[in-house]
Amino acid sequence: MRFFLLQANDVNNAANYLPIGLQLLFAIGLIATIIVLSDWLGPKRKTADKLQNFESGIEIKGNARQPMAIKYFLVAILFVLFDVEVIFFYPYAVNFRELGWSGFAAVVVFVALFITGLIYIFKKGALKWEE
Amino acid sequence: MSRPVQFNNHVKFEGIPEGYMGEGFMATNFEKVVSLARKNSIWPLPFATSCCGIEFMATAASHYDLARFGAERMSFSPRQCDLILVMGTIAKKMGPILRQVYLQMAEPRWVMAVGACASSGGIFDTYSVLQGIDQVIPVDVYVPGCPPRPEAILDGFMKIQDLVNAEGLRRRHSDQYKELLAGYGIQ
């Protein structure tokens, strides 16, 4: 057993991994060569029709990369915020009696913070859709 | 108890193209190698609009098994496809769409019109149906039938393979081919 371990120690130096390194290099090189060769040798016909986006053969209508109004993002993110606030009410509703007045005070503080935020949003005009 | 297993003993091998062979090497015609590779790895694009498409589904399924011909990779984007199989009635409104799909296929490309409707309009001899897809794109092989049996589709596919094998590397640069495409108004 000891003899076997000694042998393993001898095998574990960096030079012995050279064949594996060579094999990796060869594998990567072969794939790169094949990709470059097929691209270079393959027939091509670059016409305006062919290079158009493929939309199942139907005439293309504009580009999908259009700027969107920031209002969509604002409304979506504000919805998520208040939605999460409402989710916190569920565990509170379940433990309503046990938590007593101190629990009620905590929730009032929590809601008050959000209401302050809501007032800020309205003052800033983030929810005015027409502007 | 083990079930008796049957293996497919009828495996067909492609012949080695003729060339100069020595120990550990072989030299042959580049064109032959390319043709051999191309004809045995045709990627089809099924453009199925009606009942011939159902026959094609049977052709692609296990019993008739189109994959035996190296065509298991169906694609519904034309970008990597070699062969468009047009199966079914092509209405005149569908014509430009078919043409656009054909235009966006990879080079070189082949077309197979499967069934009477795609080949000639079939029984739909009316104002709204294209009387054969060769009015909008050049067709290589026509498969008759209404609808054709899977065997007929396979036969058509083998005819396409023969065409691909005989294609060579220069045909698509020839004046004749350019004239053909210009006849369809294709760049």
- Asked if A48's CB is within 8 angstroms of B100's CB, the reply is no
Asked if pLDDT for residue A7 goes beyond 80, the answer is: no
Torsion sign over Cα B102, B105, B107, B113? negative
Closest residue, chain A, to B104 (C-alpha): A50
- Asked if A59's CB is within 8 angstroms of B96's CB, the reply is yes
Give the type of residue at A98: E
pTM for the whole structure:
0.71
Query: Residues 6 or more apart from A121 whose CB is under 8 A from it?
Result: A78, A127
Q: Give me the pLDDT at residue B129, please.
A: 95
Query: What count of CB pairs under 8 Å joins A to B?
Result: 36
Give the type of residue at A126: A
In B, which residues are within 8 Å of A48 by CB distance?
Answer: 187
> How far is B125 from chain A, CA to nearest CA, in Å?
25
Torsion sign over Cα B54, B59, B64, B65? negative
Q: What is the pLDDT along chain B (187 residues), one digit of tens a residue?
A: 777 877 777 777 888 888 898 899 999 988 898 899 899 999 999 999 989 999 999 999 989 999 988 898 898 899 889 999 999 999 999 999 999 999 999 888 999 999 999 999 999 999 999 999 999 999 999 999 999 999 999 999 999 999 999 988 888 888 999 999 999 988 7
> How far is B17 from chain A, CA to nearest CA, in Å?
20
In B, which residues are within 8 Å of A50 by CB distance?
Answer: 103-104
Closest residue, chain A, to B47 (C-alpha): A56
Looking at the DSSP bridge assignments, the partners of residue B113 are B86, B142
Domain ranges of chain B: 32-152+160-183
**For B32-152+160-183, which CATH class?**
alpha beta
Looking at the DSSP bridge assignments, the partners of residue B21 are B26
In B, which residues are within 8 Å of A57 by CB distance?
Answer: 96-101, 104
ipTM of this model?
Answer: 0.70
Which whole-number Å values give the CA distances from B117 to A58, A91, B50, B99, in the listed order? 22, 66, 9, 16
- Asked if B79's CB is within 8 angstroms of A52's CB, the reply is no
